[in-house]
Amino acid sequence: MGVYLWELAYRKGIFRTEKLPVPVAGVGSITAGGAGKTPLVLSLLGYFQREGVRVGVLSRGYGGWRSQEKIPFVFQGESPPPPEEIGDEPALMAAKYPEALYCISPDRLEGGKALVSAGVDLILLDDGFQSLELFQDLKIVILPPDIPLAGWGWIKAFLPSGELRDFPGRLLEADLLVCTRGEWEASDSPGPENWYPFLRHLALSQKLPESIVPPVLETTVRMEGVAEDSDRGGVPVHALAEKNVVLVSGIARPDRFSRMLAFYGVRPLGHLALPDHARFSDRDRTRIGKWIDTLEQSSHKKVDTILVTEKDWVKWGREETADPRIRRVLTRMMWIDEDRWVGVLQSRLRRAWTP
């Protein structure tokens, strides 16, 4: 109900959407956690930087104490504050793209203005589909892992009983819908051929023309190897074949992490799944240590490799006092039909850049 009233207030003009003098490209979803927003923001960030665009990333900084501040906090990726200050996702982005500017602000409009003042050419709005206060020149929405139920059955899929946090009908408001399937789950997840009939049905149910259905483009996620802090390139996954491996993660969908590694032949002794955005505090690390000790005793094997996601690595593996067995799993989101992706991005944003 809160989501409905929030959106209704903007539709009725009670609240106003404001447009900034630079283009804003928003990346969002209608589900909570684990949709793949951060990998897509990273992919877009890399593309625009290669094109010579000065990019600013606007994030709430979830999990960092700056997310509770009213004043926007802008920083250069080359000298980022710690994750406990800015959140794990901005910390990961800054580690990968230090040339970009970043802003942590729960008020998306004020944060956008701060980035404009800092001189950016384009703002990437992370998790921005529900941020109606800020006009978005390009709305990119990642589709859920499953097609919502027909009729009124989707109501049961809303939080807290399900994962939906917005109405499926709002998918039609996107400029571009993204279907993300890892190499390890291509046959399990719906693709564009499954989504288009559902989206056409949504349009007809709202008495809208089918032409309103946004294009559905695909991405895939691939594992590129494992790396230590000093090895940005990483080594192939088959280097783990003779290792006694465990997985530790603090992400929304730990099962995807397990299935990805299984697809590439990794057979871990165990997987400890902490809550999403886990801080890897001293208490967490004590728990991890005890868990590994128990595994070693029960398996009679000495753990020599601890695999973590890149998001967790920025909170745990980068420290000088970190466990030397930690290795981060390198992944990359890749666009299927890259020419079409580039065409959509350029056509939408060219209009925004044209006076």
**Rounded Cα gap, residues 107 and 127, in angstroms:** 13
CA–CA separation, 17 vs 133, rounded Å? 4
pLDDT exceeds cutoff 60 at 25: yes
Q: Give me the pLDDT at residue 8, please.
A: 62
Domain positions in the chain are 15-221+334-353, 224-331
According to CATH, the topology of domain 15-221+334-353 is Rossmann fold (3.40.50)
Which is more confidently placed, 23 or 349? 23
Average pLDDT score over residue span 249-275: 93
As given in the structure block, the two tokens for residue 254 are 């730990």
Q: What is the DSSP letter of 55?
A: E
Query: How many Å apart are CA 74 and CA 88, to the nearest integer?
Result: 16
pLDDT at 151 over 90: no
The region of weakest confidence among 39-48, 208-217, 222-231, 270-279 is 222-231
pLDDT surpassing 70 at residue 233: no
What Rg do the C-alpha atoms of the chain give, in angstroms? 21
pLDDT tens column, 173-230 = 999 999 988 877 766 778 899 999 999 999 999 999 999 999 999 999 888 899 876 5
What's the chain's length in residues? 355
**Pair 123, 22: CB distance under 8 Å:** yes
Mean pLDDT of 321-343: 90
